[in-house]
């Protein structure tokens, strides 16, 4: 019998949720996604020291010898995710998601500028914008930034997705892809209720099903990519979703597990469902967001967590550029 992973690939696009190039080489997904935490973790790995050091040296050369380490680190930080993305694109046949600085999540204009800058870096390396998804937090401001970028032919992945209101706003804005966070939704409900959930009743699973069915019912072209999984059961309950981005440990578990995989999400079935349409504007978005404690809490928490990872990465880069510049001195002593 085929593994769960082999069966899943027949009904859903499998994406690797990692910045670890070695893991991507092992599982050969169609696409790959990264985020600040994953890039920060990968940059800490000894096997990627060459990518980090090369990026830092290029930034030093661009800014000159008089620039302080912190400024060099800040420029290198802007380029590092793209450097990982360029290497990932040598392995995956389709797309990589590269994230905008989470600290810009409530600034539409700054997010647009950063998205354009990321695309410019890829295109200067000869990589088509069709292979890049600009990853933006699904605040109202982020969704509006994504809407403008999409009109410029820059495709977006709206992340930190927890509520139906976020998904509807993205669909109406013509966003290419959204990433509902299954596991983080489960985390919130387990903490709030003090109980465990079976895969078929998992609140994160039910959230993605609701979004998927709404999109297919009303003909939105935005792709749904379930993300942030805590266990294989969450993944198998979403078989049939447009895409699922899965961490290497769970990819390995799926690859080594046999059994019959049932399709749970189907676009034709969704079209037959009785689903109320909700036109989305800023007032409706804000009202629904305020009423959804889980979405409100997890969006704020997610932005804070990604921002913290970025600060850690900047500090690590500043320390490393100082070490690099001291190495020749040490060698001469």
For the stretch 57-106, pLDDT in tens is 999 999 998 998 888 888 888 798 899 899 999 999 999 999 999 999 99
Residues 6+ apart with CB under 8 A from 45: 20
What pLDDT band is residue 246 in, cutting at 50, 70 and 90?
Answer: very high
Distance of CA 58 to the CA centre of its chain: 26
For the segment 148-197, what is each residue's pLDDT rounded down to a tens digit? 999 999 999 999 999 999 999 999 999 999 999 999 999 999 999 999 99
Euclidean distance between CA atoms 202 and 286, whole angstroms: 25
DSSP string, 296-322: HHHHHHHHHHHHHHHHHHHHHHHHHHH
Instruction: Give the relative orientation of helices 36-43 and 293-332 as an angle to the nearest 10 degrees.
Output: 20
Euclidean distance between CA atoms 137 and 154, whole angstroms: 16
For the segment 195-227, what is each residue's pLDDT rounded down to a tens digit? 999 999 999 999 999 999 999 999 999 999 999
Task: Using CB atoms within 10 Å of the CB of residue 186, give its burial: 0 to 12 exposed, 13 to 18 middle, 19+ buried.
Answer: buried
Q: Is the pLDDT of residue 333 over 70?
A: no
Give pTM, 2 decimals.
Answer: 0.91
CB neighbours of residue 143 within 10 Å: 25
Q: 């690099």: which residue's tokens?
A: 324
pLDDT above 90: percentage of residues in the chain: 76
Q: What is the rounded average pLDDT for all residues in the chain?
A: 93
pLDDT above 70: percentage of residues in the chain: 98
pLDDT value of position 255: 96
Closest CA to 251 of 268, 270, 229: 229
Q: Is the pLDDT of residue 117 over 70?
A: yes
pLDDT value of position 21: 87
What pLDDT band is residue 328 in, cutting at 50, 70 and 90?
Answer: low
pLDDT value of position 37: 78
Q: Is the pLDDT of residue 330 over 60?
A: no
Question: Which CATH superfamily hosts domain 4-332?
Answer: Aldolase class I (3.20.20.70)
Known catalytic membership, residue 114: no
Catalytic, out of 135, 144, 216, 217: 135
Q: Which of 15-24, 211-220, 222-231, 241-250 has the lowest mean pLDDT?
A: 15-24
Joined together, the tokens standing for residue 294 give: 């889980």
């Amino acid at each position: 019998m085929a593994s769960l992973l082999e069966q899943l690939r027949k009904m859903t696009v499998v994406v690797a949720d990692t910045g670890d190039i070695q893991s991507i080489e092992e599982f050969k997904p169609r696409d790959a996604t990264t985020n600040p935490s994953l890039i920060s973790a990968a940059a800490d790995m000894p096997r990627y020291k060459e990518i980090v050091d090369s990026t830092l040296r290029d930034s030093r050369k661009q800014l000159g010898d008089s620039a302080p380490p912190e400024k060099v680190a800040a420029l290198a930080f802007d380029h590092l995710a793209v450097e990982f993305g360029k290497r990932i694109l040598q392995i995956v046949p389709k797309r990589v998601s590269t994230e905008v600085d989470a600290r810009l999540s409530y600034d539409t204009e700054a997010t647009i500028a950063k998205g354009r800058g990321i695309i410019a870096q890829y295109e200067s390396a000869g990589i088509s914008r069709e292979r890049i998804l600009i990853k933006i937090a699904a605040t109202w401001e982020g969704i509006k930034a994504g809407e403008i970028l999409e009109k410029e032919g820059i495709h977006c992945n709206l992340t930190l997705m927890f509520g139906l209101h976020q998904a509807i706003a993205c669909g109406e804005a013509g966003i290419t892809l959204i990433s509902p966070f299954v596991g983080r939704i489960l985390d919130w409900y387990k903490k709030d209720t003090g109980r465990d959930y079976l895969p078929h009743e998992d609140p994160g699973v039910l959230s993605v099903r609701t979004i998927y069915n709404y999109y297919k019912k009303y003909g939105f072209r935005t792709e749904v990519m379930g993300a942030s999984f805590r266990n294989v059961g969450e993944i198998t309950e979403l078989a049939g979703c447009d895409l699922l981005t899965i961490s290497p440990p769970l990819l390995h578990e799926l690859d080594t597990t046999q059994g019959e995989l049932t399709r749970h999400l189907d676009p034709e079935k969704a079209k037959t469902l009785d689903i109320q349409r909700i036109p989305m504007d800023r007032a409706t978005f804000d009202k629904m967001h305020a009423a959804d404690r889980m979405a409100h809490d997890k969006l704020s928490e997610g932005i804070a967590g990604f921002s913290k990872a970025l600060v850690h990465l900047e500090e690590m880069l500043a320390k490393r550029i100082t070490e690099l510049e001291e190495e020749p001195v040490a060698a001469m002593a």
